Amino acid sequence: MWQDLHAQLESKGVTVVTVALDVNTNDALPWIEAAAPTHPSLIDNGHVTDKLFGFDNVPMAVWIDETGRLVRPAEQASIEPSKPLPTLPDEAPERLHKTFAELALFRGDAEGYLAAILDWAEHGAESKFALSEAEVVTRTGERPPEHARAAACFELGQWHWANGRPDAAVPWWREAHRLQPENWTYKRQAWTFVTTQEGQPPDLLQGPNDVYEGNWLDDLIAQGGGATYYTPPDL
């Protein structure tokens, strides 16, 4: 998907850079190998792009112009509409029905966002989608002290994990979750290590577990439900 867009826009002066928010590089590699990117495909073990740009979920993106200035802040970045969900049999577990009900509420504007990217590629600073510096800063908003502290706690957890102490990472990641509950990258990153079975594909449902207080479905409902999981880009 992103590779196709990069190939389409490279001659227009646009480079797509993908960044995998994965503490464990090996978790990201199969996806990168499958995509065979010719664009820069980077791995952000420490989720540093969260604090640098304000990412709190994926996929999100920023636009940077030729002078190195952000012209769109962190925002939802889908360029393919979601596929319709399959119909669950009635006898499927109740929790799975609840999950699908929330997934059906996800919001997005993939077509609009893709059209905006193409317009920017064509018109650059003259594109109506390229925002002023003041607008970029305003839209990015404030960083409350607890969010700054959450970033430090997440980094401590990542440091322990990278040094072979996954158990020592847990209390720091729990604290990051408490301080910034709306940051799904902190939560989903931590949950995947306790709900995914060894050697299996990632468990994307990330259900209740014995290590963390939260889980994907219950936290989503507590925070407002599927309609709040993604905020469509304000185009």
Residue numbers 136-165 binding other proteins by CB under 8 A: 136-137, 140-153, 155-156, 159-160
Q: Are 47 and 62 in contact (CB under 8 A)?
A: no
2-21 binders of other proteins (CB under 8 A): 2, 5, 9, 13-21
Question: What does the alpha-carbon distance between residue 13 and residue 11 come to, in Å, rounded to a whole number?
Answer: 5
Sole window of 84-92, 97-105, 189-197, 219-227 interacting with other proteins (rule: CB under 8 A)? 189-197
Q: Report CA-CA distances (Å) from 88 to 91, 117, 171, 223.
A: 8, 35, 37, 25
- Structure-block tokens of residue 42: 């980077």
* Phi, psi at 128, each rounded to 5°: -70, -10
107-136 binders of other proteins (CB under 8 A): 117, 120-121, 124, 133, 136
Residue 210 burial (C-beta neighbours within 10 Å; 0-12, 13-18, 19+): exposed
Q: CB of residue 66 vs other proteins: minimum separation in angstroms?
A: 5
Question: What does the alpha-carbon distance between residue 130 and residue 135 come to, in Å, rounded to a whole number?
Answer: 10
Chain position carrying tokens 């190195």? 68
Closer Cβ to other proteins, 10 or 218, answer by number: 10
* Contact pattern from residue 59 through residue 78 relative to other proteins, giving x for each residue in contact according to CB under 8 A and a dash for the rest: xxxxxxxxxxxxx-x---x-
Q: Which of 99, 183, 189, 215 binds other proteins (CB under 8 A)?
A: 189
- Give the binding-site size for other proteins (rule: CB under 8 A): 85
Q: CB of residue 88 vs other proteins: minimum separation in angstroms?
A: 23
